[in-house]
Amino acid sequence: MASLKVYGKAYSANVTRVLTTLAEKNVDDYQIVPIDLLTGGNKTPEYLKLQPFGQIPAFQDGDFTLYESRAIARYISDKYEGQGTALFGKTVRDKVLVNQWLEVESQNYNPCVWKIVFECVFSQMFEGRPTNEAVVKEQLEKLEKILDVYEGQLTHHKYLAGDLFSLADLAHIPVTNNLINVAKKGELFSSRKHLNAWWEDISSRPSWQKVVQIMQAEQQEQK
């Protein structure tokens, strides 16, 4: 029986952030325990014992429980340091830059992108109301400025923290997939040469491809 458990569903970008990290570290001996937001699986007393904020994912390694996808990703990177992709680079400088761009994702990129995706795709499902176009417009303006900075950075470096793929790039993949493929805002990327090349590169990695298959299989099961 796998001692690693990921609680959640693959439709969640936060869950797939963890699944992609596991794949990058060549860890496939884990179990996904379905916790569905749409059926309130995240509000049961049992689940709230694991994740008191009622969010997905939660993660267990044996009897050790952890939550927050970025913290779980760090734990996996550390535990499996000796295998798979080195997700924090090789040097002190690499690690510093990975941490920096992880925070940029956390503080600047994700909040903005998530608001756009939520309004365009999930407002009806989760809040029973149509898209607030004013919010989308405001957040798109913000995002354009942020993406200009990314374009500048990626003009000089293949990846965010330098010449090596890292957890900083990985952290962006799930929510960018939502932005481009679900909310259909791909022109934000296709209009920026280096940003687009970076996206093409990181989203074609075997780890993400594997997670896409998990997402598709889950969707099939629902039917």
Minimal distance, residue 217 CB to other proteins, in Å = 28
135-164 positions binding other proteins, by CB under 8 A = 146, 149, 152-153
Compose the 76-95 pattern: x for residues touching other proteins by CB under 8 A, - for all others: --xx------------xx-x
Minimal distance, residue 96 CB to other proteins, in Å = 5
Q: Which is nearer to other proteins, 104 or 136 (CB)?
A: 104
* Strand ordering across the sheet containing 58-61: 30-34, 4-8, 58-61, 64-67
Compose the 97-116 pattern: x for residues touching other proteins by CB under 8 A, - for all others: x-xx-xxx-xxx--x-----
Q: Which is nearer to other proteins, 48 or 197 (CB)?
A: 48
Minimal distance, residue 89 CB to other proteins, in Å = 13
Q: Which of 22, 168, 203 is nearest to 88 (CA)?
A: 168
Residue 203: burial class (beta carbons within 10 Å; 0-12, 13-18, 19+)? middle
Distances (CA, A) of 93 to 29, 87, 97, 119, 157: 32, 13, 6, 38, 14
